[in-house]
Chains A and B, each alone.
Chain A
Amino acid sequence: MTHLPFIAASYGLFVLLALWLSISATLRLRTAKRRLRALDAALAAPGVRP
């Protein structure tokens, strides 16, 4: 394959970027869900009225 370093660098950049974007989005979504669930549970707990 000609120009292999340039091709590998391009595809590598894409893979890194795609992984970074999707992992960060997944983690952020998971954290937000967990916090929201915890807060909802705390608000619904007996003795605490919103």
Chain B
Amino acid sequence: MTPAPSPHPTSPVPRPSAFARLTSGLHRLANPGRFTRLAAQLQPWLTVPGVLLTLAGLVWGLVYAPADWQQGDAVRIMYVHVPAAWLASAGYAALAACSLVSLVWRHPLADLAAAEIGPVGAAVTALCLATGSLWGRPMWGAWWVWDARLTSVLVLLFLYLGHFSLVRAFDDPRRGYRAAAVLALAGAVDLPIIKFSVQWWNTLHQPDSITLTGAPTMALSMLWPLLVTALGMSLGFAAIVLGRLRASVMEQRLRSLLLSRAGAGRRVAARTAGLQADTLDGRGEMVAP
């Protein structure tokens, strides 16, 4: 196919589009050394405020926020449940975004990031379901009901678990990443279903108290601790994913170093380092010695 005409025929050298600049910026991150350095600098800026804000928000919610007029103190479960629910969806959106970058641009970091977001997102989704159950039993009178909101979040948990197992299902890790990315992108259809389930259908679950379009239907004395906790947990989520991703990049470098050494037939150095090339299993994964 002939190349498309330049959008600026008057300028002799067309400036790269914002999109092209973004993708080239992403590609510079593909350099593992650069990523490791930047990520190590970023880590404390996520970890410290994440821990502090989460602790502050949870203590605020547990001790200082008022009890609800009809739910009593059970409303305090909200300060764990609602941020977990938001993170479950946001984490999946990030997983789907990484999968798109992986499928279209074949960015090596996107595969690793998707594989590290998956388990953390699954844990947060499980926490959301468990705390929801603990809240539903005393308030609704049921641990679980099959309404549209609860069911669609359960589907989200299964999508996370499916992604987790697909990444690890193939001998060739690249095939695993590819298959998992396809699943993650297809599963993204669940996100709007979760979001709008409480508007589209009759559910036992309440409609959203906090929306982007309308005023919140929650007292400010409860809204503030909720927002602080949600911000803290989001930073904490990002910090944990970043930490795992840094470890994953290092592990990959270790694998490639060991494999190249094994290919060269020189195992001496690796052995002196307490490592052997045959501590790698079939798919090049590190096996604990």
Contacts and interface: CB of A to CB of B under 8 A. Distances in A.
- Are A and B close enough to touch in the complex, i.e. CB under 8 Å? yes
Interface of A: 1-4, 6-7, 9-11, 13-14, 17-18, 20-22, 25-26, 28-29, 31-33, 35-36, 38-39, 41-43, 45, 48, 50
A28 B245 CA distance: 10
Give chain A's interface secondary structure class.
Answer: helix
Nearest to A30: B247
Identify the interface centre among B67, B76, B258, B260: most chain A CB within 10 Å of its CB. Answer: B76
B275 A35 contact: yes
A38 B275 contact: yes
Interface in B64-80: 67, 72-74, 76-77, 80
A7 B244 contact: no
A31 B251 CA distance: 9
A42 B253 contact: no
A42 B195 CA distance: 53
Contacts, number: 107
Nearest to B78: A10
B243 A10 contact: no
B135 to A, nearest CB: 7
Contact of B73 (A2, A28, A41, A45): A2
Interface stretch (B5-13, B90-98, B216-224, B264-272): B264-272
Contacts of B236: 18, 22
A40 B12 CA distance: 48
Contacts of A11: 58, 62, 80
